[in-house]
Amino acid sequence: MSEGQRTAVYPVLSDGSCAYCLRGMPSRCLSRGLVGIVTDGGYAELVKVPASNLMPIGELDFKAAAAMPVNFGTAWNGLASRAKVVSGDTVLVWGAAGGVGYAATQIAKLLGAKVVAVVGDDKKANFVESQGADLVVNSRTQSVVEAVRTFTGGLGASVVVDHVGGDTWGASIECLARGGRMVTLGLTSGPKSEVDVRRVYQEELAILGTWGQSREDIQLVMKLASDGKLKPSIFHEFPLSSASEAHRTLESRDVQGKILLLP
């Protein structure tokens, strides 16, 4: 990197010396942090990070670059690196209008899969269809399990992306086809859930916990955005001084895509 170069921040902080760092997996660092989420200092006009966390963004628009690392990077890690989604997969995405959800939808489509997108409000259907969803299911008015079974001829989804947690884990396990993979990469509804464990072994399911992303994951999704193959969608921009309003908007769950804070 050189002075004045346009950059984004690889948000995973690591010590560079533990067993995982030495194996090239900083997101599994035993003393890891995440700028702006588990490590303070992200909500500021100026942010101090190690030089090794800077990533050149080329000609990519700053706002697009800001709207990609955490959601597209994590979704890429979960779907491409962990679940190894390929053409022929059917991917169920919970919360498909949110930041991780719409990124997962775009990435699953790019990898050749079909996408069943779950929303909690019919107002969000058009948005998730515009991201490539093949079927939209409203979880407040329809059974997600029945909808995905019907869509797949009774088999179920080969991959489920769950970032909701407690409220959806049980249904995620029910939605999976034999040999299916569940990518679990966060929670917005609490950490406890009741799951029928029999399905996990009888159906030979794989549960793939995904935390953060590698530098390569982020560089790849930003390259795909530069090439027009992924499109960050910015729902609303707020000045940094209105951060509380931005949080209220997020908590209202009336969001489609990303919210940006502009320093």
**15 makes contact with Zn ion (CB under 5 A):** yes
Instruction: Decide: 71 and 11 in contact? Cβ < 8 Å.
Output: no
The distance of closest approach from Cβ of residue 23 to Zn ion in the complex, given in angstroms and rounded to an integer, is 9
Q: CB-wise, 14 or 213, nearer to Zn ion?
A: 14
Find the part of the chain contacting Zn ion (CB under 5 A) among 20-28, 72-80, 90-98, 246-254.
20-28
| Measured distance CA(87)–CA(115) in Å, rounded | 11
Which residue of 12, 29, 67, 176 would you call a contact of Zn ion, by CB under 5 A? 29
- For the chain, the residue count is 263
Which tokens in the block code for residue 184?
């679990």
Find the part of the chain contacting Zn ion (CB under 5 A) among 14-22, 89-97, 148-156, 171-179.
14-22
Which residues on adjacent β-strands are paired with residue 118? 137
Pairing label, strands 33-34, 157-162: unpaired
**25 makes contact with Zn ion (CB under 5 A):** no
Q: What is the CA radius of gyration of the chain?
A: 18
Per-residue contact flags (x/-) with Zn ion for residues 135 to 174, judged by CB under 5 A:
----------------------------------------
**105 makes contact with Zn ion (CB under 5 A):** no
| Measured distance CA(152)–CA(129) in Å, rounded | 18
**21 makes contact with Zn ion (CB under 5 A):** yes
Count, residues near Zn ion per rule CB under 5 A: 5
Pairing label, strands 54-56, 7-9: antiparallel
Positions that interact with Zn ion (CB under 5 A)? 14-15, 18, 21, 29
